[in-house]
Structure 1
Amino acid sequence: MTPPRFDATRRRVIVICMCAGITTLLDQSVLNIAIPALRTSLHAGTTGVQWIVAGYSLAFGLALVPGGRLGDVHGRKGFFLAGLATFTAVGAVAATATHPGTVIAARLLQGAGAGLVNSQVIGTIQDVFTGQERARALGLYAVTSGLAAALGPPLGGVLIAAAGPDPGWRLALLLNVPFGLATLVLAARHLPPPRSRTHHTGLDPVGLVLVGTLALVAMVPLIQVPATGRAAAAWALAGCAALVFLPYWQRRYARSGRHPLLHPSLARSAPFALGTVVAMAQFGSSIAASLVLTMFLQDGLGLSALGGAAVTLPSAVAMGLSSALAWRVVRRLGRHTVTVGLALGMGALLASGLATLWVPAPLLPGVLALTQLCTGAASGLTVSPNQALVLRHAPPEAAGVAGGVLQMSQRIAASVCVSAVSGVYLHTAARGGALHHRSSYWHASLTLVTVLGVALAVSVLRGTRKDISAQEPVRTSDDSNMALRNGT
């Protein structure tokens, strides 16, 4: 069975979506390899580094659901262009910064722009493609994003090796500018024009505030380490209040005849919820693992940026190959493909952590490159199959919000994982010495193995459920609101 082919119009749309994924995720992954040079150049402390890395995911996550909602209501093209223009312009500011605070502020704005763009990407794919074409388009977008994340460190390593640490990290952050400009031109010419959606104009501002509060509560206390005493209690109280009030508000908003932020069919869909948990754990652990490995290779083993990038390159190659073959595996194993990928990823993380404890330093980069090969293969088997499984449950009129919820959840997970795991590594490694770096990496790896273990358990649970939602037609928003008003 061959995958479906797109016509010329759809090919242009998916190319633009893939370019957007490359632009926004390449920028973040390049930063991972540039962090040691940036930290030295700007004299950034541990908290500053955590904000530079995790602040992007914070703003990205906060922008996704509002961005998806705005695209669902008013059309996607204008918000796509505005978000990408902001992302590209602020990238130049980050690259020319002379103070950590400037980089932090720029990364927050970049994250907001990237969130606005990516929420429109998922909604556009849902609008333009149907059936097997949609599954393939989502898979291509996920694969492209994953490859961008994996290729960032090698590209950044080459720039830093060629130009030196201080100009090198700035050039690495400027990589997004040509990609962003090219994507802007393509999107302005070829993205579908905004469609009138006069039947669906409410934005549910209270729902937006509540979802934003939940995102902040999940991410900020872990970035601003440590949150203790009254601060921790205040964050916990705000989170509990938003979590309790959100479902009540969504039901009340629907009973009034309006359209709630979170589509009722999403709230009731166990497959959507379980798949989102899997995506959160996989994405968060992969981003954190890449960052910690990069810091260990340069700070712990003393490798250059280029040497560290060479160790991570097999991950990109393996992900590309396994992603290309993933649809064949899905034909045989179905949703269990995701479970296999998660198990392989856990094994690769555990092996890399054990290697840092036992393998001599001269041999360690080669061993870690082999574990990266397994990590990339695992990601290819996990990312696009899981995303396709999750988004198949989204109704057309909530496509942007569904994509926004999924990606926001992933960004929350990335921010939490990056903050927590990098904190474990940095605070332990600060004691000095190669042995401390090895021990720090081992403990960080164990933490990430635990995160993937949760995803594996959820994936197994999902595999045992009978997916009745795939056999039933998805309700429209009007049907769902009527059901809520009737109490069903």
Structure 2
Amino acid sequence: MSRRLVPVVPTRTPLQTRVLVVCLVTGFATLLDSAVLTVAAPALRDGLGASTVQLQWILAGYSLTFGLALVPAGRLGDRYGRPWFLVAGLVLFALTSLVGASARDADVLVVARLVQGVGAGTANPQVIGLLQDHFDGPARARSLGSYASTGAFAAVIAPLVGGVVLAAAGPAGWRISLVLTLPFALAAAVLCARFVPRAGRPLRSAPGIDPVGLALLSVTALGLLVPFVLPGSLAGRASWGAAAVVGATTLVWWERRYSRSGRTPVLSPELLRAPGFALGCLVATFTFGSALGFSAVLMIYLQEGAGLTPLQAGLATTPGALASVVAAHLSWRLVRRFGRAGVTAAVGAKIPVAVALLLAVLLLPDRFVVASLVVGQVLTGVTGGLSISTNQALTLDQAPTGQHGVAAGMLQVSQRLSATVCIAAMTGAFVGAAASPAGHDAALAGAVVVTALLAVAATVCSVLDDVLARRRRARAGSPAAEAALQPA
């Protein structure tokens, strides 16, 4: 009997494989970098003699420029070709990591981190764009899933890698931490330049940059950030706060005017009016900022307050990172079963976890505090894993047709700027309180309170989004809407 030979159709072309490798290596390098630096923060401060303000800028400045670079870099990539800007961003990222590692002064490292954030913010939107350009249908979903998994893997191993490097290299370990991702960034740049095809003629139909909107957004972001890192009088801080208010007001006016002219603004008024999008962005803003801010505080506390080595601190935070990865993998079942209500429950669960952690820090003997923090991080990791990516997906789903790219940019910008403010504010408050007679435990308790308040704000926004969505479905009069309003 003859057998019919069935040709094996490759699931991925060689070009797609090369593009995917470049994108995954890029994501790994840019996401690992900031997470590793958090572990090295105490050693870095001691090695350079950095002040609290300088440490805040070193930790938060990267997120600031990362967020501000996302939108213009994405639109330039749309117009002139993504590979060029991916290579440029990676080279800038790599060179500034080398400058930072060789810095003899904290101010040099501050500037290096700010410029490095521009490099990462230039490369990141090209990664998403390349995956969308070269993959379709289920293959696109798998490629984006691989990218998300790479980011999760970087988050899991970062504390351990940072701890191992600092344990092995001693006082110079923080310098090595800054160049850990250098080989990955250069490798991705070389692979992209060699294997990823360039675009043809510039795509003139791509959205413009909106330089005025970007400048006003920068003023608003600095107005929110600088009061937390500015030593001096209350009047000086208040003037920056006033600048943020004026910048935000002017930004809203300008973006409406820019949008009415038929051009694409940085912050789309149409998106902000879309049911569910603005509230979903607020949920993402509160949860993302609190997660990164508390992670920075926790690393400093574990080393300076609890007396752990960097490696021990990395080991203490790894279970929480693993729990987040596992929960994120299961989170879509929660959404399929409960929709926005499931995300709301996961976000709201952060509140009792924070309260329990606060009581543990204030009431338990010191020898039990670290163990309670490990348990608290695991529970927080579960709630974050269940809520962060699912909220992002539900929020982007609210974007009107043709606005998904702009919506993704707005969501990323809001998350990065939130991370900037929260990292600066929470680390500054922690270091200042830890140096007072109250000590490290009271300083950590203050950070937990801030985390709890941000969780409350996120929960309120998510509940409001769910309630308004149910009312919209009820007004539509569909049977599914009426069923959604019935108690379980």
| CA drift at 1:329 | 2.4
CA distance in 2, matches of 1:227, 1:277: 31
Q: Deviations over 1:428-465 (max 9, x none)?
A: 11025xx6211110111011110111111111112223
1:19 is aligned to 2:22: no
State the one-letter code of the partner of 2:205.
H
1:453 is aligned to 2:428: no
State the one-letter code of the partner of 2:331.
A
Of 74, 85, 93, the residue aligned with 1:68 is 74
Q: Give the corresponding residue for 2:183.
A: 178
Contact 1:142 1:383 in 2 (8 A): no
Q: How has the CA–CA distance of structure 1 residues 64 and 222 changed in structure 2, closer, same or farther, with 3 Å as cutoff? A: farther
1:435-446 paired onto structure 2 within 5 Å = 436-446=439-449
Q: Deviations over 1:288-310 (max 9, x none)?
A: 11111111111111111111111
1:55 is aligned to 2:58: no
Tell which deviates more after alignment, 46-55 or 203-212.
203-212
Q: How has the CA–CA distance of structure 1 residues 201 and 324 changed in structure 2, closer, same or farther, with 3 Å as cutoff? A: closer
Q: Give the corresponding residue for 2:375.
A: 370
Q: Give the corresponding residue for 2:192.
A: 187
Listed as ranges, the gaps of 5+ residues in structure 2 are 1-9, 477-488
3-state SS of the aligned residue for 1:197? coil
Q: How has the CA–CA distance of structure 1 residues 186 and 236 changed in structure 2, closer, same or farther, with 3 Å as cutoff? A: same
1:341 is aligned to 2:361: no
Q: How has the CA–CA distance of structure 1 residues 202 and 55 changed in structure 2, closer, same or farther, with 3 Å as cutoff? A: closer
Pick the structure with greater CA Rg.
2
Contact 1:122 1:400 in 2 (8 A): no
- The size of the alignment, in residue pairs, is 462
| CA drift at 1:226 | 5.4
Q: Give the corresponding residue for 2:469.
A: 466
1:130-149 paired onto structure 2 within 5 Å = 138=144, 140-149=146-155
CA distance in 1, matches of 2:349, 2:192: 37
1:291-370 paired onto structure 2 within 5 Å = 291-370=296-375
Q: Give the corresponding residue for 1:278.
A: 283
Q: How has the CA–CA distance of structure 1 residues 224 and 55 changed in structure 2, closer, same or farther, with 3 Å as cutoff? A: farther
Q: Give the corresponding residue for 1:222.
A: 228
| CA drift at 1:96 | 1.6
Q: How has the CA–CA distance of structure 1 residues 447 and 143 changed in structure 2, closer, same or farther, with 3 Å as cutoff? A: farther
CA distance in 2, matches of 1:464, 1:441: 35
Contact 1:340 1:381 in 2 (8 A): no
Contact 1:160 1:168 in 2 (8 A): yes
CA distance in 1, matches of 2:434, 2:117: 28
| CA drift at 1:188 | 3.4
| CA drift at 1:15 | 4.8
Tell which deviates more after alignment, 97-106 or 392-401.
392-401
Q: How has the CA–CA distance of structure 1 residues 236 and 431 changed in structure 2, closer, same or farther, with 3 Å as cutoff? A: closer
1:108-127 paired onto structure 2 within 5 Å = 108-127=114-133
Of 56, 78, 90, the residue aligned with 1:84 is 90
1:392 is aligned to 2:388: no
Q: How has the CA–CA distance of structure 1 residues 257 and 320 changed in structure 2, closer, same or farther, with 3 Å as cutoff? A: closer
CA distance in 2, matches of 1:206, 1:163: 46
Of 400, 409, 423, the residue aligned with 1:404 is 409
3-state SS of the aligned residue for 1:247? helix
Q: Give the corresponding residue for 2:52.
A: 46
Q: Deviations over 1:141-194 (max 9, x none)?
A: 445334423432221011111121x22111111111122123223433555643
Contact 2:274 2:399 in 1 (8 A): no
Q: Give the corresponding residue for 2:164.
A: 158
Contact 1:341 1:381 in 2 (8 A): yes
State TM-score, norm by structure 1.
Answer: 0.86
| CA drift at 1:47 | 1.1
Contact 1:94 1:102 in 2 (8 A): yes
State the one-letter code of the partner of 1:20.
T
3-state SS of the aligned residue for 1:465? helix
Tell which deviates more after alignment, 309-318 or 119-128.
119-128
Q: How has the CA–CA distance of structure 1 residues 285 and 256 changed in structure 2, closer, same or farther, with 3 Å as cutoff? A: closer
Q: Deviations over 1:310-356 (max 9, x none)?
A: 11010121122112222222222222332233233333333333222
State the one-letter code of the partner of 1:464.
V
| CA drift at 1:284 | 0.7
- Root-mean-square deviation over aligned CA pairs: 2.8
| CA drift at 1:383 | 2.0
Greater RCO, 1 or 2 (C-alpha within 8 Å, sep 6+): 1
Listed as ranges, the gaps of 5+ residues in structure 1 are 473-488
| CA drift at 1:128 | 5.0
Contact 2:61 2:113 in 1 (8 A): yes
Q: How has the CA–CA distance of structure 1 residues 224 and 127 changed in structure 2, closer, same or farther, with 3 Å as cutoff? A: farther
CA distance in 2, matches of 1:236, 1:6: 53
Q: How has the CA–CA distance of structure 1 residues 49 and 445 changed in structure 2, closer, same or farther, with 3 Å as cutoff? A: same
Give the percent of matched residue pairs that are identical in Structure 1 and Structure 2: 43
Q: Give the corresponding residue for 1:480.
A: none
Q: How has the CA–CA distance of structure 1 residues 259 and 379 changed in structure 2, closer, same or farther, with 3 Å as cutoff? A: closer
Q: Give the corresponding residue for 1:483.
A: none
CA distance in 1, matches of 2:233, 2:89: 32
Q: How has the CA–CA distance of structure 1 residues 350 and 32 changed in structure 2, closer, same or farther, with 3 Å as cutoff? A: farther
CA distance in 1, matches of 2:283, 2:195: 34
CA distance in 1, matches of 2:255, 2:407: 15
3-state SS of the aligned residue for 2:349? helix
